[in-house]
Structure 1
Amino acid sequence: MRAAVADIGTSSSHLLIAEAQAGGYRVLDTLKLRTMLGECLDAAGNLTPEGEDRLAHALTQFAELARGAGVSEVRVYATSALREAPNGSAVAERMLERTGLYPTIISGKREGELTYLGVGQSVELGADNVVLDLGGGSLEFVRGDRLPSEVLSLPLGSIRMTLGYVPDGVGSSKQTEKLRGAVQRALGPHLARFAARPSTDSVQTQFLLSSGTAEAAAEAIAALRGERVANVNGFSFTLSELHDLLERIRKTKPAARAKIAGIERRLGTIVAGLATLHTALEMLGAQRITVSAGALREGMLVEELSRLSAFTQSLSPRQRSVLSSAERYGVNLAHAQQVAELSRQLFDSLAPYTVFPPEARSLLTAAAALHESGQIVAQSSHHKHSAYLIRHAGLAGFSPREIELIAQIARYHRKSPPKPSHSEFMALAGPDQKTVSRLAAILRVADGLDRAHSGSAQIRELSPHKAGWRLRVTGATPLDLAGAAAKADLWQKEFGPLSIEEN
C-alpha cells in the first residue's frame, strides 16, 4: 500500500512518497522545491500570477513523481501562504484545473495536530510534550502526551518576521529587540497553555522543534561542539547553546556567515528564525530542546496510510474482491475510501425513512469503491467505462444480478441520471431500477462531497427538513460544497430537496 502527500508552505513545497510496512512505512521518494510563495503576494496579500505559476510547476512535478511510483494521486495540504491569502480558495481551484491536484487549505490547528503526529513518528514522546514548528508564515505550538491536546498558531514565521523586523538579514541589536518584543506580545497571553510544568519523578516537560531552521541550528551547534552527526533527528541542545549560536551569527559579517555549518541555505532568514525560536522557548521555560525531522508531511503520511489500512481491514471477503479490482484498475484508494464512507453514512441516515433491499448497503459500498475505475480507460465518459469494467472484473461473492446493479450504480455517479432511453437500465426489473436510482443518488452526493479529493469533509447530520432533507457537514472545502450541490439532482428526484450546510 503506497501513498503520496505534499505540503505547500510559505517558502518551500515538499513531496513525500512512501509504502506501508509492518509498524511504519518505507520512504520511496521525496522532493523539496523552493517555491517561495511568500515572495509572491501583492499589496492586498493575494497570491500573484507568478506565485500561481510556481505552485502549478511544483504540483505538476509532484503528480508526475507520484504516478511514476504507482500512486494515482497526491494528498496536498496548503498552510499559511494560501490560508491567509484572500484569493487562496480561488487559487486552489485553479490548481485543480491546471495540474489535477487540489491543495486543501488547512487551519493552523489542523496543521499543528498533523505536525504533532509527524513528530511522534520521529522521536520518542513523553508524558508531557511541547512542539514548536516554525514555518515561513506561522509558528505552531502543540502540547500533548500520546495525542495533541492544545494547539496554537501564531503569525511568527521566519519569512514574516524577517520582512517585518530584519529585512536586511543582518540582525542588529535594535532589530532583534523589536522582534523579541513582537514575539512576547503574541505569545504572552498563551503562556499558561504551553509553559514548562514543574518536574516530578515521572513527568518532565519535553520541548521539541520541527522545522528547517531547527535542523540548521542543530547542525551548526553540533559543528561548534566538534561533533559529526549524519542525521540531526533526535539531536538535543540547550537554550544557552541556541542563544550562543544566534549571537555568533549576529556578530559575524553577513558575507562570512555561509562558513557556519548548517545555515548556508538560510542566510536571509536565519537571524529572525533563531531569534523567534529562542524568545519563545525562553518564555516557555525550556532548558533543553530536541529536534525532530518529522513534521507536517510525515503526519499527513501516517494519517493517510492509517485511513487506507482501516478501509481495507473493515471490508468483508467479497468487498476485498472489490478492493483487489480497484487496485488492479489503478483507482485512487484514498478518494474511494472517502466516498464509500460518506455513502454509507448517508445511507444509514436515510435507512430509517426509506425502504432499501437487504443487500443495498453492500452494493453501494462496492459501487463507491469502483466508481472511478473507468479512468484507466479514459477520463471522458469514465462512468460508462467503469460500468463495463465492473461487469467484467470477476467480482467474487456477488451474483450476476448484484454485479449488474453495482455496475449501473457506478455508471450513474456522474453526468445524466437514469433515463427511459438507457436500454441497460430499462432492462432491469422495476424494483432494481428503483434501487439503482436511489443508491446512485446517494453516491452522487457523496462523490460531490469529495470533489476536491481532500478527504476532509465529514457528515455531522442528515435529517428530514420541511419537504426534503438538511445535510450538515464539517471540514468540506468550497469545491466539495459546490460539488455536492451540483450533484444533488437525482437525490431531489428520489428523496426530495437537499440543503447542505457547512458548520
Structure 2
Amino acid sequence: MPLTATKNFPLIAAIDLGSNSFHMVLAKTHEREIRILDRIGEKVQLAAGLNEALDLEEEAIERGLECLRRFAQLITDLPKGAVRIVGTSTLRIAHNRQHFIDRAKEILGHDIDVISGREEARLIYLGISHTLASIDDKRLALDIGGGSTELIIGQHFESQYRGSLQMGCVSYSQRFFKDLIISPARYAQAYTAARLELMEIEQTLKRIGWKEAVGASGTIKSIAQACFAAGFGQGEINQPGIAYLKQQLLKLKHIDQVDFPGVKPERASIFPAGLAIVEAIFDALNLDQVQAADGALREGVLYDLLGRHQHEDVRERSINALMQRSHVDVEQALRVENKALEVLQQLAEPWQLTDDWHKEMLSWAARVHEVGLDIAHYHYHKHGAYLVEHSDLAGFSRQEQQRIALLVRGHRRNIPLQLFNQCGNDSHALLYLCVILRLAILLYRIRGSQEVPELRLQATEDALEILFPACWLEENPLTAADFHKEAQWLTRINFKLSLGEYFC
C-alpha cells in the first residue's frame, strides 16, 4: 500500500538535467492521464565541463544554473511533490556534484535526484511506451544521451532488461573530436570504442529478442531527420541512411563544416560522435531500422510521478522484491515498521520529522533492515546496507538508496556518525530516524511472542525519555537490559536516552 494518501496535483513538472541538454516538461493531470502544456529545452553541455579529475568546472556549472533560473519561473508556485528533477550521467560521475546540486536546489526550490543508469533506462522506456501504440511483442528502445547510452527491452509499459553504457555524444566528442578535427581514423576510434562498450550487453539483448526497435533523444531524432532529408526512409534511421551520412561526414575536415539538412546547428558539433555510436549499435545488434519516438526520460519521469501519487509507486514493488529475494521475515519486518511509524507520529513535531520522505525512509528501512541476514549474521547490518545501496531498485534515486542503506547500517551496534554527517542538511533528520528504528527493533527482539506496551515519549533536541507502564520493565528484564545498553550506544553520538514509568 502507498505510504502517503493519494494526491491530486493539477499541474506536475519534470526536469531532466542531461549531460548535453536540460529539459523541462510541464503537464496538466487528469485521473491517470497527463496533457503536456509546455516544453523547454536548452543545450547546456554539462559533460563538456568535466575536467580530468572528474570535477565540474565553474563555467559549466554557471551554464547549468543560468538555464535553471529560466526554468524556475514555470515551477515557482508548484508544491513539493508536484515536481521531480533528475540528474543523469554527468552528475552520476562528477565528484563535486553536490556543489552543483545545492546551488540548483536553491534556485528551483525542489529536491534533485541523481538516478542510476538502470533507473534512467527504466524511465526512458516508460516515457517512450506512453507515446507509442501498444503492441504485444517486445520492443528494443535506445537513447543516446550526452554521457551515457541506455538500451532497454520491454513489453507494454514494463521494462524487462535495462542496460546503461558509458558512451554519449558529448563525452565521445570530447574524447575523439576535441580539437574539432574530423578524420576517418578518429571516426573509427569512436566507432570501435562504442563496439567495445556494447560487447558487455549485446549477447544478452539478442538472447531476449525484440520485434521492433525504437529510439529517443536528440541524437536519434537528428540522425533520423538527416536520413529522411537525404531521401532514405520515411523518418526512421536505417542502414543505407547511416552509410550515406558517414560517407558525407568523412569528406569533411572540421566540425564547423557539418551542415546536413535536418540537423539543427546546435547539434552539429556532436553529430559525428552520435553517428559513430548509432552505427556501432546497428552493427552490434544487426538492426535494419530504428523508429524515432517522441517520448523520453522527462516524459517517463512525469508518468512515474503520476503513479507515485495516484495509483502505484514502483518503489513499493522494489522494496517488496528485495525482501522476497533476501528471505526477510515479513511478519517481523512489518511489526518493526508499524512500531517505528507509531513512534515517529509522537516525535514528528519535536524532532521536525514532518516531511513525506521522513516517513518513507523509516518505513522502507524497517522493512529491509534484516536483508543482510541472507548473507551472514555477523555484521549483517553492514551486509544489508551494501545490498540496499548497490541493488537495482527501480524507482529509487541514488540519494534515496543511500539514505535507506545508512539507516540499515546504523540500526544496531555503533552508529557511524561520520557517515550521517556527510548527508548535509538531512543529517540530523536521518539520525533521528535511525534512533527511532533502533528503538522499534529493540521492542521486538522477542519475535512476535511479546506484547509491546504503549509508550509515552518526551523528546528534546538531543535527548529522549521513554516512559513504560509501571512495572513492565521489571517483568521484562531482557528488554530492560537492551534499552540500558542502547543508552550507552547513544551516548557515543552525544544523545541521552533515559527510561521511566507511568501509571495507568
Instruction: Describe how 1:16-55 pairs up with structure 2 within 5 A.
Output: 16-21=25-30, 24-55=33-64
User: Structure 1, residues 35-74: CA drift from partner, whole Å, max 9, x if none?
Assistant: 2212222330111233333333333333321135677753
Q: Does 1:297 align with 2:298?
A: yes
CA drift at 1:172? 1.7
Letter in 2 for 1:20: T
Confirm or deny that 1:60 pairs with 2:79.
no
In structure 1, how many angstroms separate the alpha carbons of the residues matched to 2:97 and 2:177? 27
Is this contact kept in 1: 2:20–2:46, CA < 8 A? yes
Please say which of residues 487-496 and 69-78 is displaced more in the overlay. Answer: 487-496
Residue equivalent to 1:209: 215
| Deviation at residue 106 of structure 1 after TM alignment | 0.9
User: Is residue 268 from structure 1 mapped to residue 291 from structure 2 by the alignment?
Assistant: no
Q: 1:449 and 1:48 mapped to 2: Cα distance?
A: 35
Q: Which residue of 2 aligns with 1:482?
A: 427
| Cα separation, 2, equivalents of 1:461 and 1:164 | 42
Matches within 5 A, 1:138-153: 138-146=148-156, 147-153=158-164
**What is the DSSP-based 3-state SS (H/G/I as helix, E as strand, rest coil) of the residue aligned with 1:47?**
coil
Residue pair 2:228, 2:236 contacting (<8 A) in 1 also: no
Task: Normalising by structure 2, report the TM-score.
Answer: 0.64
Does the residue aligned with 1:189 lie in a helix, a strand or coil? coil
Question: Could you tell which deviates more after superposition, 252-261 or 168-177?
Answer: 252-261
Q: How many residues align?
A: 376
The residue matched to 1:44 in structure 2 has which SS? coil
Find the counterpart in structure 1 of residue 230 from structure 2.
224
In the alignment, what sits opposite 1:86? 95
Distance change >3 Å, CA 488–CA 8, structure 1 → 2: same
Partner Cα distance (1:113, 1:450) in 2: 22
Structure 2 segments unaligned to the other structure (5+ residues) = 1-8, 314-330, 374-380, 390-400, 404-422, 440-463, 467-482, 491-504
- Hey, what does 2:282 align to over in structure 1? 281
Change (3 A) 1:259 1:114: closer
Judge conservation of contact 1:238–1:288 (CA < 8 Å) in 2: yes
Q: Which amino acid aligns with 2:270?
A: T
2:168 matches 1:157: yes
CA–CA separation in structure 2 for the residues paired with 1:72 and 1:65: 15
Q: Could you tell me whether the CA contact under 8 Å between 1:448 and 1:484 is conserved in 2?
A: no
The aligned counterpart of 1:135 is: 145
Q: In the aligned structure 2, how far is the partner of 1:132 from the partner of 1:145?
A: 14
What letter matches 1:242 in structure 2?
Answer: I
Q: Do the aligned residues in 2 keep the contact of 1:93 with 1:479 (CA within 8 Å)?
A: no
Amino acid at match of 2:148: S
Identical amino acids, percent of aligned pairs: 23
- TM-score normalised to structure 1 length: 0.64
How far off is 1:183 after superposition? 1.4
* Structure 2 Cα separation of the partners of residues 131 and 448 of structure 1: 35
- CA deviations 1:301-329 (Å, max 9, x no partner) are 000011111289xxxxxxxxxxxxxxxxx
1:174/1:490 CA distance change after superposition, 3 Å:
closer
Query: Residue 502 of structure 2 corresponds to which residue in structure 1?
Result: none
> C-alpha distance in 2, partners of 1:26/1:175?
44
Give CA deviations for 1:105-147 in whole Å, capped at 9, x if unaligned.
1111111111111110122354222111101111111122231
Q: How does 1:98-117 map to 2 (within 5 A)?
A: 99-117=108-126
* 1:444 shift after superposition: 7.5
> In structure 1, how many angstroms separate the alpha carbons of the residues matched to 2:77 and 2:339?
47
Change in Cα spacing, 1:98 to 1:18, as seen in structure 2 (3 Å) is: closer
Structure 1 gap segments, 5+ residues each: 199-203, 230-234, 313-344, 365-407, 415-439
TM-aligned CA deviation for residue 157 of structure 1? 0.3
* 8 Å Cα contact 1:444/1:488 also seen in 2: no
C-alpha distance 461-265 of structure 1, shift in aligned 2 (>3 A): same
Corresponding residue of 1:122: 131
Over 3 Å counting, the alpha-carbon distance change for 1:346 and 1:167 in structure 2 is: farther
Alignment pair present for 1:241 and 2:246: no
Structure 2 CA distance for aligned equivalents of residues 351 and 248 of structure 1: 63
Contact 1:156–1:183 under 8 Å retained in 2: yes
Mark the CA change 1:42 to 1:288 in structure 2 (over 3 Å): closer, same or farther.
Answer: closer
- Distance change in 2, residues 1:183/1:73 (3 Å): same
Q: Secondary structure at the match of 2:153?
A: strand
SS in 1 for 2:311: helix
Structure 2 residue corresponding to 1:4, chosen from 9, 13, 19 = 13
Q: Which amino acid aligns with 2:91?
A: L
For 1:289 and 1:93, the matched residues in 2 are separated by 39
Amino acid at match of 2:300: G
